[in-house]
Chain A
Amino acid sequence: MVESRWFRRAGPGIVAIGALALVASATLAARDRPWVPPPCPGEVTTGSRQPGSGAWFRIDPQLEAGERRAQRLLVGVTGRVRPRAMTLDPESFAAGPFGGRILVGTDDGVASSLFVLDPAAGCRAGIGTTSDVIRRATLSPTGDAVLEFRVHRRTRADLGVWRRSLRDPQDVLRVLPPIGPDGRFGPTWSTEFAWSGDGRALAVQSCGETACRTRVLDLVDGSVREVADPDLGELVGLDRERVVVRAACRGLPCSLYAVAIADGRRTLLGEAGAAVVTADSAGRAWAVFERDPLGGLRSIRLDGSAATDLPGDPSGLRLIAPASRSGSATDVVTGWVVLGPDGRLPPEGPYGPRFRRVPDGPALPFEEVSR
């Protein structure tokens, strides 16, 4: 932060011009030349998950005649590494960044492969392959294991959540069973992971066509608690005591609730467009959401207190939702949220997006808070 203060005063114009030039060339380069990263040297480990690396990704379906044929993954490090593009199978995903690294899964119709990209080092580290379909994965807070959600390749039946050690490839253990059938939710359309800010609790959300169930796994004591209310929908985030979810809406705005994991008690946080859960500098969880169509924000504690309204971004940038909704993510320093055009990171990466501090709302360009 210190070394960038001069930049804050004198450099916005220079940044804008420079970024535009960099963006133009980088974007062209990224689109033209698929990136085939070399193997990362040394042990397959992802290290710690210290945030603020500036790593980012964006994933988009690639269509031919209206049909998904592949996905394009763009990765980079703001201010340091130009965007690089990889082509993934149609069934693929990216997660993170985790301490500057991005977890990627791709399924070629025969096997699912997991690997980690290190955009700063420009390399790739393979994690493993299964004949089941790995639909989603996330990295453990300690960085030594991957948690995978799998389905059966032929039947697409839920196979549960599996923990795979990064130190011992043979150490693979199922940590959550398949979620049971429940007609109120119907077949499962999507499964997503989210971590509490302290990394102790992992939420595994299984969504039907509209409504969702959330199982919260406590990694310390191994307990699993479930929030299963057909009035509730997509997961936004969580802390140790509450999950923040939308109502079971198919559109926006939509009611946003903090739901007590222990007893299901709901606290209405507001009617929200895009929404995220983040933590302030003291580690307290906040929900931040768009409260109007201009992108005006509200930050609020998960108990419904301390609501603070912030004006919309004057240049029209919108709050970037979690990757499950926005298809993009960057490594955010604790206490900040990211704004971007159309609520996503642009293909050229976070040049232009801005950060807002939670809960009081000062805004800064990405370079000011990303390292």
Chain B
Amino acid sequence: MIPFHRRARLAAAFLAVLTGAVVVPVTAAHGPDPVLGGGLFAQNQSLEFRWRAGSEPPTAIRTAIRAAADDIGDTRASKAATFLYDSAGANPIGYGPGATCGVNGLACFTRSAPSGFTMWLREQGHVFDWGTLRWCQMYTTAPNGCYDAETITLDEFGHVEILGHHVNYSDDRDYEDAVVQTFSRTKPNDGWNMHVLGRCDVATLQREYDVVSWSTPYSTCLDLDTALTLSANPTAIAYGGTMTLTASLKVVDRDAYDRLGGNPVSNRVVRLQRRTLATTTWVDAGTMAAGASGSYALTVSLTRSSEFRAIFSTPSAEGLNGDTSPTVAVSVSACPAPCPMSAAR
């Protein structure tokens, strides 16, 4: 039963889920995990869990559950909620008798974001039509055919966050891109013991909860367009004078990007290119120094009027698409006599 002091909060939370609940929307294969309905927890919210009285997991399973909580904290790459064992925690995790999981599945959960959650794991020896459930953690040497309790709990924590089951390619070649999966795998099949979130799990957590900082790499399961702008200061200088070009790199602000839209993108490689006015060939002017909040700057000295552009090349290790800034023209006044270059002409 729910204590009285939690009911008001739960009521408010449940109202939020009435429009969505735990429904898997149609999603293209291999994209970020779909999301469940029911709202989000606060960014970086700490969700303390306890063992459900009368349904405490055995020691080996407790260890696996705690490890899964650490796994999600270590690999979320976002401001998603974290999970922490606390004997006085508000969120019960139960094992075996009393599990109200329905007829199928290894584990189940309820979520009432932002108030809390519950979770159940089936007991070792639970019998399904296909046979008897074995948790790998219950053995000194885990037998083939067992399920890894840490992996399954990580999947459940992912659900609690907001993640729906990843939609795989038809041949499942991307199975290990997500730990939150419709079909769980047993030892020794690929992915049976994933102890980190997959990149498509992380993608959705980033989209829903935002990245940890502007420097955090974006999951390669994302496909985010960026916008690079460039400005010059000043835009007119004397012959041989210096000026600073400043670029600003952001994620394009689109509704589909949720919290990521408009994010500054810091500490990436942004290169500056230059061409003399009335020419067509761009030449490299150098790498711009990364500053705060997605800004990049480079100071140059000019003797001819020029155009500049900044380039952010599509990185191979994160889910950002490169961009090239519009050109910026800088005018340079005529060379004062004696002009050092005039003799060469």
Contact = CB atoms under 8 A, between A and B. Distances in A.
A341 to B, nearest CB: 6
B102 A324 contact: yes
A271 B17 contact: yes
A345 to B, nearest CB: 12
Contacts of B95: 66
B182 A210 contact: yes
A114 B126 CA distance: 20
Given A63-B96, A234-B103, A292-B11, A135 B21 contact: no
B108 interface: yes
Contact of B110 (A90, A251, A294, A326): A251
Given A248-B24, A253-B14, A316-B1, A90 B104 contact: no
A294 B123 contact: no
Nearest to B62: A66
Interface stretch (B53-61, B227-235, B277-285): B53-61
Interface string A28-70: 0000000000000000000000000000000011110111110
B20 A210 contact: no
B24 A231 contact: yes
Given A66-B57, A250-B22, A291-B18, A61 B105 contact: no
B127 A249 contact: no
B159 A251 contact: yes
B129 A158 contact: yes
A162 to B, nearest CB: 15
Interface residues of A, number: 63
A189 B14 contact: no
Interface in B88-102: 95-98, 100-102
B38 interface: yes
Contacts of A186: 182-183
A79 B13 CA distance: 39
Given A67-B123, A91-B127, A156-B130, A293 B10 contact: yes
B131 A209 contact: no
Contact of B130 (A63, A187, A254, A343): A187
A135 to B, nearest CB: 6
A4 interface: no
Contacts of B30: none
Interface string B124-154: 1111111110000010000000000000000
Contacts of A67: 58, 123-125, 138
Interface in B150-202: 156, 159-160, 165, 182-184
Contacts of B159: 250-251
Which among B18, B59, B182 has the greatest number of chain A C-beta atoms within 10 A? B182
Nearest to B10: A293
A317 to B, nearest CB: 8
Contact of A189 (B57, B100, B115, B129): B129
A188 B110 CA distance: 24
Interface in A287-315: 291-294
B76 interface: no
B21 A209 contact: no
Given A63-B96, A253-B110, A208 B22 contact: no
Contacts of B38: 253
Contacts of A326: 100
Contact of B103 (A65, A190, A231, A255): A190
Given A210-B105, A271-B37, A293-B13, A249 B100 contact: no
Contacts of A293: 2, 7, 10-11, 13-14, 112, 115
Contact of A191 (B59, B105, B129): B129
A292 B15 contact: yes
A49 B112 CA distance: 40
Given A271-B17, A292-B15, A66 B61 contact: yes
A147 interface: no
A308 to B, nearest CB: 16
A151 B11 contact: no
Interface in A224-270: 231, 233-234, 246-255, 270
Nearest to A291: B18
Contact of B1 (A206, A292, A341): A341
Contacts of B19: 271
Interface in B70-102: 95-98, 100-102
B109 interface: yes
20 contacts: A66-B96, A68-B127, A189-B103, A189-B104, A190-B103, A207-B103, A209-B106, A210-B183, A247-B22, A248-B182, A250-B105, A250-B108, A253-B21, A270-B18, A271-B19, A273-B110, A292-B11, A293-B2, A325-B100, A342-B1
Interface of A: 60-63, 65-69, 90-91, 135, 151, 156, 158, 186-192, 205-212, 231, 233-234, 246-255, 270-274, 291-294, 316, 318, 321, 324-327, 341-344
| A-B pairs, 7 with minimum CB distance | A66-B58, A68-B125, A271-B21, A293-B10, A190-B103, A189-B104, A249-B22
